[in-house]
Structure 1
Amino acid sequence: MEEQEDVTAHSAAAPSKPVGERLRETRQVKGLEIDQVAAETRIPLRHLESIEAGDFAALPSRTYAIGFTRTYARLLGLDEKEALDQVRAELAEGTANAEDKPTKFEAGDPERVPGRGLAWFAALAAVLLLGGIYAFYSSYFAPGLGPAPLQDPSEQMASTAEPRQPVAAKPEPASGPVVFTSEMDGTWVKFYDASGERLYEAQMAEGDSFTIPEDAEGPQVWTGRPYALAITVGGRTVPKLSEEDTVVKDVPVTAEALLARENGSEAEQASANSQSAT
C-alpha cells in the first residue's frame, strides 16, 4: 500500500513529463522489467519501448497508441484517464508539428533546386506540346495534306453508327463466410447467437481468426477492442465495427448486417463528399 502511494505521489509530482517517461519511471519504481510488462499485458516488447521513448509514430496507428498506453497505465496503477488525455495531447502536438513544416519552394535552398533531369524532362515535354499544336493546326487548316484514310469513310461511318452493347458488370458477392481476425495480441472477444448461447470466447492473439458458423441464428459479438478485429465476408474486406477505443456489445455479425454497414458507410461518405463540393 505504501509503495503504491509513493508511485502515485511520484507521478503526480511530475505531471509535465511525457507519458512514456512517466510510465518508464513508474515501472522502475515498482521493480518491473519491461519484459515482465510485455508478458503480463500481451503488448509486443517493441511497442512498449516505443511508448516509453515517446515515439508514437512507430506504432501501427493512433488507436494502438491509445489502447496500449491505457493497458500499460492500468497495470502500473496509474490514472488511466490522465494517461489517455496526455497521450492524446502528445499525438495532437506531433501532428501539428508535422503540418508546420514548410513544403513550398524557397529560393536559395540548394536542396530544393530542381535537378538537371527534371529540366530536360520539362524541355522535352515542351517540344512534344509544340509538335502536337503544329499537327493539330496543320490538319485543321489543310486537311487534304494528310495521308489518305485506310478505310472507306462510308464504311467507317456505318461501323461507328452501330450501337455497342454494354458489358454487364460482374455482381459482387452478397454473402459468404464471415471471418474475424485479430490484429493485436490479447484481444478479448465473445460471439453468441440470438438466444445467448456462446459460439466462441477467447483472448485472441495476433493472427488468430474465427469463422461465424453458417447455421448460427442471429450471431452477435461483444468486445472491448473493435478496432483490433479485421472482418471479411466471402473473402472481401469490410469496415471494422469501430475505429474507436470503446466497448461494442450485441452487434449483429451476419453477412447481410456487415454488408449493410459497409453500404451505409459508403452512402455517408458520398453524402459528405457532395456537401463539401457544394
Structure 2
Amino acid sequence: MDEETEGSDYVPVGQRLRAAREEKGLSLDDLASETRIPHRHLESLELGEWDKLPAPTYSIGFAKSYAGAVGLDRGEVGEQLRTEMGGGYRNDSSTVEHFEPIDPARTMPKWLVLGAIVAIALVVLLFTWLRNSSLEEDTGTPVNSVAEAPANLPPQAAAPVAANPTGPVVLTAVEPAWIEVKDGDRTLFAGILDTGKTFPIPADAAAPTLKAGKPEALRVNVGDAVAPPVGPAGQVASNVSLKPADLMRAGPQAAAQPQPQNAVAQ
C-alpha cells in the first residue's frame, strides 16, 4: 500500500461505500435492485472479503456501479479498490468504465449453447430426411430421378426390331402421361410424366412392368433403338413387360393381345 493507505485517516473502500449507502438510507437489497449486482457481492465489497468476489475486473466494475448509485466518485473508488486488491490486475480504464460486468452465475454455460446448436442441426437433418422419404413413398422412386429430355419430341413410331436389343430401357413423355412402373410388388414410379421428361428403368429391376393411361404419349427406347408402341392409342395399357426383348418383339397388334408378360387391357 502507498503512504495514503498506511495513514491513520485511511478509510477502506468498503467502509466508504457502506457509509455512503447508510447516509442515503438505502439497504443492500435496494442497491441490488438498482445496480442488478447480487446482494452477496455488495456485502463482500463492504466487508472487504475479496476471496468471495469474482475476478478483480468484475469486482472493480461492481464497486464503480455501487459508488455511482450512492453518489461517490466512480473512478476514485475503482482505483482505490484496485490498490486494496493488490493492483495486479489492471485493464484499460475506458474498457472497465463502459463494461459493467454482470453476475457470472447468470451467463449461459458454453456446453448448453453448443448443445442447443447441435440439437437444431439434428432437427433440420431429421426434417429433411423425413421429407425426402415421404416423397419417395409417394412416387415409388428416389427424388429427382426423372430426367430432362429434349422438347418437341415426335410421337412414337414403329422402328426396325433389333436382333439382340441391348442398352437401358428409357421411357420418354412426348406429352403429359400418367404411368405406373413396378418391379414385382415394388413400385418404381407412379404419377404424371411431364412432356420431355424421361424415366430410366433401374438396371437391377428383375421383371419391370408398365401401366400407361395413354400409351401413345410415351416413347420407349431400348438403348439407341425405339421400341414399338406399348399399346393401342386411346386405351389403357396394363402389365406391359419392360424387358428389352419383350419390348422389341411387341408391336401394335401384338400389344393388344394378351401375353404372359406383355398384356394390354382392353
For the aligned pair, the TM-score class normalised by the smaller chain equals 0.3 to 0.5
Normalization by structure 1: what TM-score? 0.31
Higher helix share: 1
Normalization by structure 2: what TM-score? 0.33
Structure number with larger C-alpha Rg: 2
